[in-house]
């Protein structure tokens, strides 16, 4: 949810800034889009397609999630000239780190889950998967707990969600990429693949 909000806000800010300068708004051109599509496939296979997860072990699902993150980092590296994507990549690295050292899923504490699970009768236990990518873990058993899904959207927002510091950087990067596409780190380093 935080990423969708950042994308919408970045697009609106980018259009507004372009209009205030009397120029048309253009989304920056990204290279190697096929790598981004490839990055989504392991997650789709593990979590989203009909029948996803059936007959797959937790280890396989965790491996697919980690593989997806690595491929996505490769895509960001190939487009690293954009400041927004560099920031987004830093968030991906933080998420990949905490996921990798905690068994292949994003840790979320029982305390955070209790603030999210408001439906009566739902019972969650340590070790359960809370969502496709989250696993409930005690904070004192979580490596780099400060990087886990421990931040919450404000209570006044109807849809409550947990997110990580990495997610914040990803959202800020997406916002910067769409709102200030001219911010680059130099010439286009794209290499034909």
pLDDT tens profile 159-182: 889 999 999 999 999 999 999 988
pLDDT at 164: 97
pLDDT at 78: 94
- Contacting residues for 118 by C-beta, under 8 A, at least 6 apart: 160
Long-range pairs, 59-64, Cβ under 8 A, ≥24: 59/104, 61/104, 62/103, 62/104, 62/105, 63/104
SS3 162: strand
pLDDT < 50 stretches in the chain = 191, 193
pLDDT at 84: 94
Q: What is the pTM of this model?
A: 0.88
pLDDT at 188: 62
pLDDT at 158: 83
Structure tokens at 113: 């889950």
Domain limits, the chain: 2-21+33-49+58-179
Q: Which pLDDT tens digit goes with each residue over 80-93?
A: 999 999 999 999 99
pLDDT at 115: 87
Assess contact for 81 and 87: CB atoms under 8 A.
no
CA distance 11 to 121: 40
SS3 of the chain: helix, strand, coil, percent, to 5: 55, 5, 40
Assess contact for 146 and 128: CB atoms under 8 A.
no
């Amino acid at each position: 949810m935080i990423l969708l909000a950042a994308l919408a806000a970045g697009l609106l800010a980018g259009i507004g800034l372009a209009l205030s300068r009397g120029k048309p708004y253009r989304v920056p051109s990204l290279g190697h889009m096929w790598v981004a599509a490839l990055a989504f496939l392991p997650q789709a296979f593990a979590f989203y397609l009909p029948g996803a997860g059936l007959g797959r072990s937790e280890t396989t699902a965790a491996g697919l999630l980690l593989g997806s993150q690595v491929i996505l980092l490769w895509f960001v590296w190939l487009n690293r000239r954009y400041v927004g994507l560099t920031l987004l990549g830093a968030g991906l690295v933080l998420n990949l780190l905490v996921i990798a050292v905690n068994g292949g899923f994003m840790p979320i504490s029982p305390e955070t889950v209790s603030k999210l699970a408001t439906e009566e009768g739902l019972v969650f236990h340590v070790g359960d998967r809370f969502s496709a990518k989250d696993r409930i873990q005690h904070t004192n058993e979580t490596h780099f707990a400060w990087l886990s899904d421990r931040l919450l959207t404000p209570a006044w927002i109807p849809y409550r969600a947990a997110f990580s510091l990495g997610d914040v950087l990803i959202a800020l990067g997406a916002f910067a990429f769409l709102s200030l596409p001219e911010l680059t780190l130099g010439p286009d380093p794209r290499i034909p693949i």
